[in-house]
């Protein structure tokens, strides 16, 4: 996997798509404004380990204006953008991540009336990430709330236990039935990432979401990082099972699930992807129209990936593809076509 992925500019066609979908909106503060911090303090976790996040602070002359703008940003993302709730909001902290491609800011917004709080993230806008977020919204079980303007991207916080934390501190204490549930979800997550070409799903790039249901806990793995959407040439990068940080989940899955069950869950996930693609067809095709004319990777990586996918599927459309957008469109078409051909209950 590449050490550093370049940022790709948001094209005019993609910007127009985002405007039509209500994603492109006027905002009161930009990513570059937050870079003007005067100092910082390192943040450590409860075990004393450096989190690679720093808490930043600003000069008195700028702090009030920045905090007011961030409060307005919160109301735009989560409400109707009115100023009615601003007196009841407080910016508790502004943190900056020193690791990774996007180097995001994490803002903690607290309601002073009841101490409830929520995080939002402000990042540099990158076309790869925008496509990743939109595809997650359309093709996964999860909805994504984000806004874009210029070079700035604002995302809502995705709640859950970080994958690396869960694997290290929670997995071993799970019951055998819970481990089988997690193994099933890992298979489905692995298939979903591969079909939609979302790469670099190492354990710290997804969270484990736990939902209490009657007499059990349901587990769902949810991606939180979308920088590596349709970028790498090696098809294995799009399968979390081949990333060493997920080895413990892979070993557990192979131990607890029979090969027939693994294949069943793969087919289930491909069918769900096909159904979502069909139900969101108009919006998805509009997004693909943008993606198929965008530059999202190098020619060498495009050539490598389409060759591997053609070898895997035998679908000539992969061979004909000239960019990452066309490769992804071919993959989605392949899944939908197979689902319709194999399902005898579809009314045609």
Segment 317-334, tens digit of pLDDT: 999 999 999 999 999 999
* Residue 340 confidence (pLDDT): 82
Structure tokens at 147: 């806004």
Contacts (Cβ under 8 Å, ≥6 apart) of 318: 306, 309, 310, 327, 330, 331
Tens of pLDDT along 111-145? Answer: 999 999 999 999 999 999 999 999 999 999 999 99
Q: What is the mean pLDDT of the chain?
A: 93
Q: For residues 99 and 124, what is the distance between their CA atoms, to the nearest angstrom?
A: 14
Contacts (Cβ under 8 Å, ≥6 apart) of 12: none
* Residue 342 confidence (pLDDT): 78
pTM (two decimals): 0.93
Q: Do residues 110 and 97 touch, judged by C-beta distance below 8 A?
A: no
Residues of the chain with pLDDT under 50: none
Tens of pLDDT along 269-308? Answer: 999 999 999 999 999 999 999 999 999 999 999 999 999 9
* Residue 10 confidence (pLDDT): 94
């Amino acid at each position: 996997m590449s050490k550093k992925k370049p940022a790709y500019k948001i094209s005019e066609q993609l910007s127009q798509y985002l405007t039509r979908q209500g994603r492109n909106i006027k905002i009161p503060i930009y990513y570059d404004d937050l870079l003007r911090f005067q100092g910082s303090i390192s943040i450590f976790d409860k075990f004393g380990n450096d989190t690679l996040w720093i808490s930043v602070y600003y000069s008195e002359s700028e702090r009030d204006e920045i905090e007011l703008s961030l409060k307005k940003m919160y109301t735009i993302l989560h409400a109707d953008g009115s100023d009615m709730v601003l007196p009841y909001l407080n910016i508790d902290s502004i943190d900056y991540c020193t690791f990774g491609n996007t180097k995001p800011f994490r803002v903690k917004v607290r309601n002073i009336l009841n101490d409830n709080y929520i995080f939002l993230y402000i990042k540099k806008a990158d076309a790869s990430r925008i496509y990743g977020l939109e595809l997650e919204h359309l093709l996964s079980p999860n909805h994504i709330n984000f806004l874009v303007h210029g070079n700035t991207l604002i995302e809502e916080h995705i709640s859950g236990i970080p994958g690396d934390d869960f694997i290290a501190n929670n997995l071993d204490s799970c019951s055998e039935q819970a481990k089988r549930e997690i193994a099933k979800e890992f298979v489905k997550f692995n298939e979903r990432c591969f079909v939609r070409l979302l790469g670099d799903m190492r354990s710290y790039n997804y969270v484990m979401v736990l939902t209490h249901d009657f007499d059990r806990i349901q587990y769902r793995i949810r991606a939180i990082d979308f920088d590596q959407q349709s970028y790498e040439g090696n098809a294995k990068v799009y399968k979390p099972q081949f990333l060493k940080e997920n080895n413990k989940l892979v070993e557990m899955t192979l131990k607890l699930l029979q090969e027939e069950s693994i294949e069943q869950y793969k087919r289930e996930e491909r069918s769900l992807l096909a159904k979502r693609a069909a139900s969101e067809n108009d919006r998805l095709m509009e997004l693909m129209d943008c993606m198929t004319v965008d530059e999202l990777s190098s020619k060498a990586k495009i050539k490598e990936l389409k060759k591997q996918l053609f070898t895997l599927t035998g679908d000539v459309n992969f061979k004909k593809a000239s960019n990452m957008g066309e490769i992804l469109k071919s993959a989605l078409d392949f899944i939908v076509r197979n689902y319709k051909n194999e399902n005898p209950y579809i009314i045609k």
